[in-house]
A = this chain, B = another copy of it.
Amino acid sequence: MIIGKVVGNVFSTRKCQSLVGYKLLVIKPLFGNKDDFFVAADTLGAGIGECVLVTTDNTTQYALDRQAPIDAIVVGIIDEEPQLEG
């Protein structure tokens, strides 16, 4: 999974019916290429500035009530940035 910070919202009026009801967040990765922003769906209520855990690819489907064309979804809100050792 990817740890990232919520840095924006995405609004789309013309979209797939199966995306209706999901918040769409712009995520800035905490590690690796930090300019590699991407969009994740959210049902946990993450807000701008919060650190979140995002799962990707088809594993997103196990966090959804029904199948949807979503390849990244917030699965957790991080309590605090992890302390790294080594």
Contact = CB atoms under 8 A, between A and B. Distances in A.
Contacts of A5: 86
Contact of A36 (B31, B61, B79): B31
A57 B58 contact: yes
Interface residues of A, number: 62
Contacts of A39: 1-3, 53
Interface of A: 1-3, 5, 7-16, 18-19, 24, 26, 28, 30-33, 35-41, 44-45, 48-49, 53, 55-63, 67-73, 75-80, 82-86
8 contacts: A1-B39, A8-B82, A16-B76, A19-B76, A26-B84, A32-B35, A48-B86, A62-B67
